[in-house]
Chains A and B, each alone.
Chain A
Amino acid sequence: MKHRGGNIFLSIDWVTVLIYTVLVILGWINIYSAVYDESHSSILSMSQRYGKQLVWIGIAYAIITIVMAFQARAYSIFAYIVYGLFIIALVLVLIIGTKTNGARSWFVITDSIKFQPAEFAKFATALAIAKIMSSFDFDISRLTFPCIKNMLKIAAVILLPAGLILLQPDMGSVLVYASMIFVMYREGLPGYFLGLIVLVIAVFISTLLYPLTVVITGLLILAELGYFLYRQRIVETAISTGVLVVLFGIMWVTNHFVLHDKFPLDRILLASALVWSALCLGFAYVKKNWAVAVTIFILMGSLIMMFSVDYIFHNIMTQHQQTLINVFLGVEIDPQGTGYNVEQSKIAIGSGGLTGKGFLEGTQTKFNFVPEQATDFIFCTVGEEWGFVGTTIIIALFLTLIIRIMWLAEQQRSAFSRIYGYCVASILFLHLAINVGMTIGMVPVIGIPLPFFSYGGSSLWSFTILLFIFIRLDASRDEQL
């Protein structure tokens, strides 16, 4: 173990700081390229976004100094106060905030000084959650009265800011709070609980967003994967997958060549899934393998839920209600028709190829082909100019950072620091997953920034504070806060 003396410089985790710095610099380079315009060549031009972002980065480092200057204990002591302050800010912004793009999310002081409290509320909530969950005897691992009470407490701490942000409305920022489920899982929430919650939400949302074929396929893969992870029996899993594929193959061929596509694809898939499930249940009965039975029952439950959601949405709800739900899910209604923005985004990323077109050589991420190209869609610039190599490196960097944070969190002596660390990792991951997923069309278009990358002071500073509070806590990892 490293020597951890009084000098804070020696106890800082420099690996994390290094990854942070690299991400911020790469982000700036891509913003420069996205906004680049031959008629403005000065890097420091304050009229351009890259000039401004350079200033935001400078201020971010000043913020880091301030964050590091506090005692680690201070963050634990003032956790609730900070949380309270940002709840007040979230209330205020609904009253005196300025409406842009249909959401009341900004305090506008002057044209260039703006402030988005929802961004900062993330670290404040993380502090409050860490504080509440680190209290002595905090247990959420069983379904007993005190445990459920604890779960409700956390739910309240999360839902208060989430609800206020929903009123703005800013669906993207609300969604981030869902990441806290990982923190709860780490701190004792049973795995099946996490799995079931995620499954219900996933089935519900994906039924609304994707064709039934995709959802059924996804559920089948999940069933196989879930069983494999639980029992780790590779032969059983492989054989059952093989049976499933063969069943589907036979049915598809019969339908296509004999029945001349009488049934649609989702019916064929469903039929093969049902026959397969029956075989699995038979196997479970013979071998007394209850894990298989449970898996199949969960699969059946999911399929029933999928069909009821699909039926209610398409056959019972009116057009207007459907639109409302789409808006609520954060699916932006595209004025040009279906998925025009996502198509442009995919064209930009796809045109990058293996190694990209090179710095400043991108054409699709300029001229506004891609919307919000310096903010929410900055990943398109990476994809276009740096290619598959670039996108993979960025994803790897983020993943390294996130896993490093969780690893550091496990080293903490104080529960507060550990839980806060998991909050940071989860928030960063959710941002990464939604932002990148939306640019490649795997997640609906939800306005949410890519941490450290996207243009904008509020988002850069809030992620910086979020991360460096943890680095500060980690620097005092042996203290009992």
Chain B
Amino acid sequence: MKQYNSHKIYNISLIFIIIMLTYVVKLFCIQVLDSQYKMSAESNVFRRVVDYPARGLVFDRNDKLLVYNESSYDLVAVPNKVPPFDTVDLCNILGISVEAFKAEFQKAVKYAPYKESVIHKQITKQRYSYLQEKMYKFIGFDVQERTARRYEYNGAAHVLGYVREADQKFIEANPYYKPGDYIGVAGIEKSYEEVLRGKKGQKIYVVDVRNRIQGSYMDGKNDTAAVVGKNITSTLDIDLQMYGEELMRNKIGSIVAIEPETGEILALVSSPGYDPNLLVGSDLAINYPKLLRENFTPMFNRAIMACYPPGSTFKPINALVGLQEGIITPSSAFPCNGGFSIGSHVVKCHHAGSLDLVPAIQHSCNAYFCYEFTKIIGDKKYRRADSAYSNWRRRVQSFGLGVKLGSDLSQENKGIIYTKDYYNKFYGEGHWSAFTIISLSIGQGELSFTPLQICNACATIANRGYYVIPHIVKHIEGQDTIAHRLTEHQNTGIDPRHFEPVIQGMRAVCEYGTGRSAQVPGIAVCGKTGTAQNPHGKDHSIFEAFAPMENPKIAVAVYVENGGYGATYAAPIAGLMIEKYLKGEVSRKDVEKRMLDADLIGPLLQNMKQDSVKAAAKKL
């Protein structure tokens, strides 16, 4: 027993007692001596009025207004301050049923009878002016000015996104938001929510028993001013965007256009799309479920979320990897006798003869790239196929393929390019070689990328070796620069000189090869067609292109689902997009008309209808 310490109980007790005595003295001061608190308590009925800031506007790269705000009004009430009133009259003004009104009012009573609750939201200007005249009849009610989001164009919905009321779960996780606040849930509205929303302010008023404002509390010392949301300039060219959406009318697929030098997204079309004004204010509740049910998922942003095999658009990448690794030189030639055979299997080719690099790209020679790929994977430097594969994969990923690009659009898909472990597991270590995975050489098999990734890879070729992470915002009001990661160069590590023969090949594609339909008079377009095999139906038509050949200003990737060969739809559409952007006007009206009139959705709907009729007949 440590009895020698037992006197310390007195010291500890003394400390405790002294601290508590100071508390009692303080309590005596504020409870008995100071009368200020009693007076405060009596006048202590505050009314807090939230000052909602206007949300920032969005402009396109040419300062055309895309998104703005419109005034709207919310009817609010403090339930226990509301005496009996003419409900029918009020409901007539608001244009709602008495039952619906009573239900909302009951909800407010249940939430907090002494607090202000919103009873009816987003009252239009006309109804508001009627209401204003009769407001004196409705004691305990008040009108709060809010804003509703409006979209100037009926397109670009996937890029701009939309706003909706924050739900309970979100509010719990983010205390800034209160019930009734709006948040961006997609596109720019979501990615730049904190920039656009501004900062709410609050004014505290002292009110009397009848809730009449007597003045601001403590001379407004605790009031905070609302900070208006910042305006954003998007990288989008709205004319190009709308033109792209028009071209994709009645087709499924997407178009991505990027300015290669800066990574700025000029257009991002996902078809079918929807009119962003459908998801505004109280219409959202009606239209959102409708859009979800509609055919071909218009809410799904194919440009950044859909993955397709790249097909032949991948061949320039393989060529570049081969050149950098020293596997081929521009003059290396491989024999092609109408295909490349592995045992009894033949990867077919549509021409014959021995080709070197430029014509191989021009003719999209499967055999050439199969030979090249076997040499890449069989490279002696790496001893084993799987390490050679890993190196190849690293090179491909340096083009932003199969990795999340990290743009400022949310929900970007990563795409597919498996690690060596996948094949080691599937075939067994050492039991696979270039021949096992030969489809990868021509962009088929276990490869899958988004249109954004392919467009970015094309921009990388246009830049001769680097890309800038594609992004949608060019300028934020009051800020000198956008995020650093969206402006720095991402280098592929492939020597710029290797790009020249590949670009010559891509130029030849548009001059004499499979992409002739993308040719624009007076502009040197470089491109590559692709056809993505589709196990569910007709192949997808793909085209990647950039122009002009020197100092490229635009890179485009076009995907038309079930469009067949890349040359059929994707190439002409890419050509039109380039012409529109570089010349401002499209001269080839015949091509334009053919593309606008093409209807790929009609036959699909027909098929679906027939299928459902058949299914119904079967049931009977």
Contacts and interface: CB of A to CB of B under 8 A. Distances in A.
A409 B112 CA distance: 49
Interface string A147-176: 000000000000000000000000000000
A413 B2 CA distance: 10
Given A415-B2, A440-B26, A340 B41 contact: no
A349 B9 contact: no
Interface of A is mostly: helix
Interface string A328-339: 000000011110
Interface stretch (A271-279, A291-299, A308-316, A386-394): A386-394
Contacts, number: 114
Nearest to B19: A433
Contacts of B36: 350
Interface stretch (B27-35, B525-533, B604-612): B27-35
A171 B26 CA distance: 25
A92 interface: no
A336 B222 contact: yes
A347 B5 contact: no
A337 B221 contact: yes
Nearest to B34: A350
A56 interface: no
Contacts of A191: 8, 11
Contact of B9 (A186, A188, A429): A186
Interface of B: 1-2, 5-6, 8-9, 11-13, 16-17, 19-20, 22-24, 26-28, 30-32, 34, 36-38, 40-42, 44, 46, 112, 114-115, 172-173, 175, 202, 204, 221-224
Contact of A351 (B9, B41, B173): B41
Contacts of A437: 23
B23 to A, nearest CB: 6
Nearest to B3: A410
A383 B31 CA distance: 8
Given A188-B2, A337-B224, A407-B9, A388 B28 contact: yes
A407 B40 CA distance: 43
A363 B20 contact: no
A182 B12 contact: yes
A340 B30 contact: no
A391 B31 contact: yes
Contacts of B24: 391-392, 395
B175 A442 contact: no
A27 interface: no
Nearest to A391: B27
A350 B31 contact: yes
A393 to B, nearest CB: 11
A187 B12 contact: no
Interface stretch (A12-20, A83-91, A98-106, A247-255): A98-106
Contacts of A53: none
Interface in A312-361: 335-338, 340, 344, 346-354
Residue from the set B17, B32, B204 with the largest chain A CB neighbour count within 10 Å: B32
Given A391-B27, A440-B26, A350 B12 contact: no
A346 B30 contact: yes
Contacts of A351: 37-38, 40-42
A406 B16 CA distance: 12
A268 interface: no
A354 B224 CA distance: 36
Contact of B27 (A99, A187, A369, A388): A388
A209 interface: no
Contacts of A24: none
Contacts of B173: 99
A137 to B, nearest CB: 11
A364 interface: yes
B9 A406 contact: yes
A398 B34 CA distance: 26
A374 to B, nearest CB: 15
B30 A350 contact: yes
A179 to B, nearest CB: 11
B9 A350 contact: no
Given A354-B31, A364-B41, A391-B31, A185 B8 contact: yes
